[in-house]
Amino acid sequence: MWLFLIFVAVPIIEIALFIEVGGAIGLGPTLAIVVLTAIAGTWLMRRQGLMTLERLQQSLAEGRNPADPMAQGAMILVAGVLLLTPGFFTDTIGFLLLLPPVRVALIRWITARLMASDSVHFSASTTTHGRDGSGPDTIETDYVILDDDDERPHKPSGWTKH
């Protein structure tokens, strides 16, 4: 339902804004603004995308969790799509997604919503009995498969915890 509303509401908002802005400043300046925001947005998206790619590579090289740079990169990609879509509303949302504080707040909000829902069930503990005893080489996890057809959570047969 939300997706349907977005696909209906966004074009209506864009048409209304084009009519209002075009009526206030004229056709030529309105089109120039649309083209300039696409050019500026593409440049900013490329710049921030490369910085995020560097952060992702650094996270992977250091063995840290790459989830944050990946989420940031996904939002920058969405921002780029919005900035290349002609319109004032989509440009505004796209530029907002290029602001790191906005992305961080949105990632925190989405994460909190996912953790509060019943769709995420995962726990993990790390042990330090590696080959040389210097670091975590084994990750022990407990998991439950939630099957829509079966009301009881269950573990797959044949799988054991090491």
43-76 pLDDT, tens per residue? 988 898 899 999 999 988 888 888 889 999 999 9
Lowest mean pLDDT among 20-24, 66-70, 129-133: 129-133
User: What is the value of pTM for the model shown?
Assistant: 0.66
What is the pLDDT averaged over residues 135-147? 62
* Residue 18 sits in the same domain as residue 67: yes
Tens-digit pLDDT profile for residues 90-122: 999 999 999 999 999 999 998 888 887 765 555
How many Cα atoms occupy the beta-carbon half-sphere of 47 within 13 Å? 9
22 Cβ neighbours under 8 A, 6+ residues apart: 30
The total number of structural domains that make up the chain: 2
Tell me whether residue 2 is in a domain. Answer: no
* Residue 25 sits in the same domain as residue 73: yes
Provide the CA 79 distance to its chain's centre, in angstroms.
Answer: 10
Say which DSSP state 147 is in.
Answer: -
Q: How far apart are CA 69 and CA 55, in angstroms?
A: 6
Q: For residue 24, give its domain range.
A: 7-116
* Residue 106 sits in the same domain as residue 137: no
pLDDT confidence of residue 126: 47
